[in-house]
Chains A and B, each alone.
Chain A
Amino acid sequence: MSAPVDVSPPPLLSIEDLVVSYATAAGRTRVVHGVSLDIRAGEVVALVGESGSGKTTIGQSVIGLLPENGRIDSGTVRLNGTPISDWSQDRLDGLRGARISLVPQDPGNSLNPVRTIGAQVGEIFRIHGYRDRAEIDRRVLELLTRVGLSDPELRARQYPHELSGGMRQRVLIAIAVALKPDLIIADEPTSALDVTVQRRILDLIDDLRAETGTAVLLVTHDLGIAADRADRVVVLQHGRIQEQGAARDVLARPTQPYTRQLLADAPSLARAAQRRPRPASTPGEPAIVVEDLTVDFSVTGDRRGTFRALDRIGFSVAAGTTHALVGESGSGKTTASRTVVGFQSPTSGRVQVAGADVASLRGEALRQWRRTIQLVYQNPFASLDPRQSIRAIVEEPLLNFAPVPAADRRRRAETLLERVGLPGATFGRPPAALSGGQRQRVAIARALVLDPAILVLDEAVSALDVTVQAQILALLDELQRERGLTYLFVSHDLAVVRQIADTVSVLQQGRIVESGPVQDVFLHPLTAYTRDLIDAVPGRRLQAAE
């Protein structure tokens, strides 16, 4: 009797029982606990997880570029059957770029600011032994053309800051595919880009991959992207694999509770219709009225060079409802929200909040008016004073107005903190001891302690993981019902907007291109731009699976 012989070739990449730890002040912290996965030639495998899941660390381990304090404790990484995880950096240098390459997360800082695009693309040829300058130049132009950059001769002479984010990501992809590697590690390749650009970049990776048969390890937090682009999906949580399998199986029939949770929390365009309608809004004066609002910024420090951030926009928000301002970066949505709360003065036009003309308010009147409208910031790590305790942060607004007895202050702060779902043990701690989601709860409690009528939420859930995001959105929804709050919700994320807003205005380069009830705008977009935005939202396969 002969033992069964496995005749299939080894997988392109095989990770076996990988354990990775980082040196921290408290000793070594493990972040990857025995992960095993295979990637076959030409396959796209998505590594999906929230922050702290270890997905980026796994990618770094494969290409041998862990941070200085990181270390592979045990386990093996094999490339075509050859173990490479114990290779020296010198030996890995020959492999990197040629056999395994990287498309990084942040195109903004991933190109050397002081060298030309051409030099940086050409460099990969020089590193791997090409000597003929003319040949290298020719190949650089060929690559830049291939990744869809117009006027490649000009681009090759330009510096990174002269290119947009999407163009820079194309250059980075050109570098990654230059030597036709077997495997590309794409670490959140589009998370820093606007949705419409995001889709084009992912399409480009798909095309190039199909052309050369390169395998891709796609590291992402976005289940929608994984669903749309991957053959197989690996779901990670806290450094362990929760579930892996063919993309359509995992998404249609998740076997693990964590995967189901992720799927349920992922904002998706399909599910938004379930939103319960707001309580009938009282007829009368809307809470916010914006008319003909224009805001110019001075660029050169004088009047000659101005940049028009907002161009005669107008919208109004009925009391007790949520209005969303949606747009990509540079659309002016943040400027609009800052003008509404009185941090930015309008160049012309009118902003009326709770019956007051915001631009005309000065001094004490402005200060008193601020009680009616509060802002919640995008980044909960920057919007809380690191030296205050949680309780002090929430109490502080009460100190600014008619004196409230200390005990009363404390009680009101604590009641509110409990209401937003923070455990009592955290009240005395500084913000640094809390997670991102908890901090955003603190920020919401601070915003509510003065009993305002209106909350302006500036990308308030964008920095959070999907499961946390879902919790905060649910909290906001409850608070709105209880207190009859009016929300102005600023976001780039259409799926989230559809979940929470009643009405929406779509901004493009400082103008409102479309507005109306959410359902109308999303189901029957009138402009090409809105349609484009909606189509670009990842997760169509996810919807199909439902």
Chain B
Amino acid sequence: MTDVPFEQQAAPATPHRLDLRTSTSRLRRSFHPGLWISWGVIGIVAAFAVVPWLFTGHDPVDGSPLERRQAPSLVHWLGTDELGRDLFARIVYGAVNTLSGAVVAVAVGLVVGTLLGVVAGSSGRRIDDAVMRLVDVLLAVPALLLSLSIIILLGFGTVNAAIAVGVASVASFARLARAEVVRVRRSDYVEAAFGSGGRFFAVLWRHVLPNSLNAVLALAALQFGSAILQISTLGFLGYGAPPPTPEWGLLIAEGRNYISTAWWLTTFPGLFVVAAVLSANRISLSLRGRSA
């Protein structure tokens, strides 16, 4: 069937010759400040999730009704919402919901998908075909619709939304893992390992897995970004954490009612989502560069 974009991205540049004439884009990658900024952003957002009280003195849930919908100021850096709650505090305390959701989602996709892919790639034709047809079915349904189906089945909620997003990424992981395993299996060094008397599982463990997993890890970073996006989308649609939980997508949905008077309520949470996703994608790119 068709390739998902990531596999095209991950197509290994054949590094058979140590060649000075490599593309400049790959050279610049190694000392790009964007990568450091990206790690910084992810670090800060992760700190929001773990120790939110270090970043803000305001309470994310109890607001003072006197300070409703105030524009950003020195007291309330990013303004307040319709209940007088500090927006920055809600974003900081909301990070844990969005991030943990993304982590669960990636874990589901990574574990289930990689397992399927490795089994398909290292088994005989029949098992391979069966697994890959299953993956084809998963790929045929758009991620969001697949997630919505899971949500109808499991019900609303943070964990269910995360699982729904994770299931939608299983197919990508499975395809990539299989492609990598097949690529490595065809390599001369794997044949040489069998040729020197290696047993199947020993070769799988010593050579095939370590050399396949780099690309899978790069995909995990990419999926982390896209999981943040999709979890906030589900939150926005109201299928994730229930109010007053400060999940990022939900913050934007709530702010939407005051779009004409309180622009900050939708703008800032969105910017945090963009920054986190952009950083995760950037990190994925660097991991992929290393695996090539």
Contacts and interface: CB of A to CB of B under 8 A. Distances in A.
A341 B196 CA distance: 11
Contacts of A285: none
Contacts of B197: 367-368, 370-371, 397, 400-401, 450
Contacts of B16: 379, 381-382
Given A343-B191, A383-B189, A387-B211, A367 B24 contact: no
Contacts of B22: 24, 69
A383 B191 CA distance: 8
- The interface centre, meaning the residue of B17, B21, B199 with most chain A CB atoms within 10 A of its CB, is B21
Nearest to B211: A387
A375 B21 contact: no
B196 A377 contact: no
B68 interface: no
Given A385-B207, A385-B211, A374 B196 contact: yes
A51 B187 CA distance: 24
Nearest to A343: B191
A387 B210 contact: yes
Contacts of B188: 377, 379, 382-383
A386 B183 CA distance: 14
> Which of B16, B193, B195 has the most chain A CB atoms inside 10 A of its CB?
B195
B198 interface: yes
A401 B199 CA distance: 10
Given A25-B30, A69-B27, A385-B211, A377 B20 contact: no
A400 B22 CA distance: 38
A24 B22 CA distance: 8
A397 B199 CA distance: 11
Contacts of B198: 396-397, 400
A512 B278 CA distance: 61
Interface string A363-374: 000011011001
A385 B191 CA distance: 11
A126 to B, nearest CB: 30
A31 B207 contact: no
Contacts of B17: 51, 381
Given A382-B187, A385-B211, A69 B24 contact: yes
Given A383-B188, A387-B211, A399-B202, A23 B27 contact: yes
B5 interface: no
A68 B189 CA distance: 33
B144 interface: no
Interface in B11-45: 15-18, 20-24, 27, 30-31
Contact of A341 (B20, B195, B202, B210): B195
Given A22-B20, A25-B30, A375 B192 contact: yes
Nearest to A69: B24
Nearest to A70: B21
A67 interface: yes
Interface in A63-89: 67-70
A446 interface: yes
Contact of B15 (A29, A381, A443): A381
A375 to B, nearest CB: 6
B27 A370 contact: no
A384 interface: yes
Contacts of A24: 20, 22, 27
Contacts of A399: 202
B153 to A, nearest CB: 40
A386 B199 contact: no
A379 B15 CA distance: 12
Contacts of A377: 188, 192
B133 interface: no
Nearest to A380: B188
A386 to B, nearest CB: 7
B199 A367 contact: yes
B90 to A, nearest CB: 43
B214 to A, nearest CB: 9
Interface in A352-369: 367-368
Contacts of B207: 385
Contact of B20 (A31, A370, A374, A382): A31
B20 A446 contact: no
A400 B196 contact: yes
A386 B195 contact: no
A29 B196 contact: no
28 contacts: A22-B20, A23-B24, A24-B20, A25-B30, A67-B21, A367-B197, A367-B199, A370-B195, A370-B197, A374-B196, A375-B195, A377-B192, A379-B188, A381-B15, A381-B17, A382-B187, A383-B192, A385-B211, A396-B198, A396-B206, A397-B197, A399-B202, A400-B196, A400-B197, A400-B198, A400-B199, A432-B18, A450-B196
Given A382-B16, A385-B207, 5 more contacts: A22-B20, A24-B27, A69-B22, A383-B189, A399-B202
The 5 A-B residue pairs with the shortest CB-CB distance, nearest first, are A397-B196, A400-B197, A383-B188, A67-B21, A22-B20
